[in-house]
């Protein structure tokens, strides 16, 4: 079960930052087919064998994470992992194409991790500081909510 999208990333560092939204705690379900474009000369960039593509992101807390993309016959696939979606908020992200000691980065983009209804999953940061909510129904239609 995946939510698949295409992510067009400009290699021009002056490109306008786009925002990509994902849900906090969604693991392995946000799958992006990545296309690199160069708006300076209106070309596309094809990744070849021997090149590695990595997703990098800086979270609101200052922590960072990295995910290696899969490259199959020039098609780049990014699947966000648990670390990528653990913390809600606006993350600054980019993708890099690496070969030997040469690194080419896409223009940065925003990864907006929308807070989950249950936001303390996997130690993720939330407004509640990792607290939990306990709901009890007394059987008469009255629900008590306690924050633990």
Question: What pairing do the DSSP bridges indicate for beta strands 52-58 and 89-99?
Answer: antiparallel
Helix (H, G, I), strand (E, B) or coil at 141: coil
3-state secondary structure of 36: strand
Q: What is the mean pLDDT of the chain?
A: 86
pTM of this prediction? 0.77
User: Alpha carbon of 95 to those of 21, 69, 117: distances in Å?
Assistant: 16, 9, 29
Tell me the average pLDDT across 20-40: 94
Give the separation between CA 83 and CA 12, rounded to whole angstroms. Answer: 27
The pLDDT of residue 117: 86
Rounded CA-CA distance 87/100 in Å is 32
Decide if pLDDT at 142 tops 90: no
């Amino acid at each position: 079960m995946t939510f698949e999208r295409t992510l067009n990333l400009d290699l021009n560092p002056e490109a306008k930052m786009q925002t990509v939204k994902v849900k906090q705690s969604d693991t392995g379900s946000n799958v992006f087919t990545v296309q690199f474009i160069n708006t300076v000369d209106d070309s596309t960039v094809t990744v070849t064998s021997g090149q590695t593509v990595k997703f990098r992101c800086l979270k609101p807390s200052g922590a960072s994470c990295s995910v290696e993309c899969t490259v199959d016959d020039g098609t780049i696939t990014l699947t966000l992992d648990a670390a990528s979606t653990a913390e809600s908020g606006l993350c600054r992200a980019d993708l890099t194409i690496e070969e030997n000691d040469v690194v080419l980065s896409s223009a940065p983009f925003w990864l907006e991790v929308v807070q989950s209804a249950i936001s303390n999953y996997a130690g993720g940061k939330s407004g509640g500081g990792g607290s939990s909510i306990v709901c009890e129904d007394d059987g008469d239609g009255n629900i008590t909510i306690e924050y633990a």
